[in-house]
Amino acid sequence: MTLSIRPELPSSERTLSSLSKQNQSPNVTEAEMMEAVRTLLIGLGEDPNREGLKDTPKRVVKALQFLTKGYHESLDELLNGAVFTEDANEMVLVRDIDIFSSSEHHILPVIGRAHVAYIPNGKVIGLSKVARICEMYARRLQVQERLTVQIADALQGLLKPQGVAVVLEASHMCMVMRGVQKPGSWTVTSAMRGVFAEDAKTREEFMNLIRHKPNFS
């Protein structure tokens, strides 16, 4: 288990500009992408024309487009105005957000959960939007460290809160299915901004809350 706590960046404004819509796709057609998958199948020693593989290139391309749809989404479209003025200054925590991403090194699944908290400074965001922000950045080719930071910096830039805390726990199939082949291994990364980075008690409260096991039955 790896725990990484990153210091607050000097400017959330500067960082947020790099988190905007990334849909400048190269001029590659779906047919060209499908042909690339056919080439891979041939390279693996398979016959892409046999019955079970005839439609595999099309299915693979469609799956990859879905798994990386975050490249074609933006914060503005995602939020749709769901930022509200509110006289609130206590911690807001959305925890156990399922995360499905893909490693940029092997394009294998990264499966985990995110815990995201912020302390408002006059503005709050719709709770579902916190999960959607996680989803948008997860649906890209990622490394876990960057994904964690992107979620934190997006909220910091959007709301200018007193602080943001993000903890991401995930299992990487590139460590489970290949390479060192260590099922059960998982990685924890964190990003702390504002009061969460500066005040140990606030950070401890957050960490205690994400350890708590809720029971809604």
Q: What is the pLDDT of residues 161-185, one digit of tens each?
A: 999 999 999 999 888 888 877 788 8
What is the reported pLDDT for 14?
A: 46
5-19+82-211 adopts what CATH topology? GTP Cyclohydrolase I, domain 2 (3.30.1130)
First-residue to last-residue Cα distance in the chain: 30
Neighbours of 204 (CB within 10 A): 11
Average pLDDT, the chain: 88
Cβ burial of 85 (10 Å; 0-12, 13-18, 19+) is exposed
E strand segments, 16-106: 83-85, 92-103
Query: Average pLDDT, stretch 14-21?
Result: 46
Give dist(CA 177, CA 185) in Å, integer: 11
CA-nearest of 64, 72, 96 to 20 is 72
From the list 36, 5, 131, 141, the residue with the least C-alpha distance to 78 is 131
Arithmetic mean of pLDDT, 149-157? 97
Q: Check residue 17 and give its pLDDT.
A: 45
- Cβ contact 116:93 at 8 Å: yes
Q: Evaluate if residue 128 carries a pLDDT over 80.
A: yes
Reported as a single tens digit per residue, the pLDDT across 55-99 is: 999 999 999 999 999 999 999 999 988 899 999 999 999 999 999
> Start-end ranges of CATH 3.30.1130.10 in the chain?
5-19+82-211
> What is the pLDDT, as a whole number, of residue 4?
39
The candidate with the shortest Cα–Cα distance to 156, out of 187, 128, 196, is 196
pLDDT at 110 over 70: yes
| Region of residue 145 (phi > 0: left; psi between -120 and 50: alpha; otherwise: beta) | alpha
Report the DSSP pairing between strands 109-119 and 163-172: antiparallel
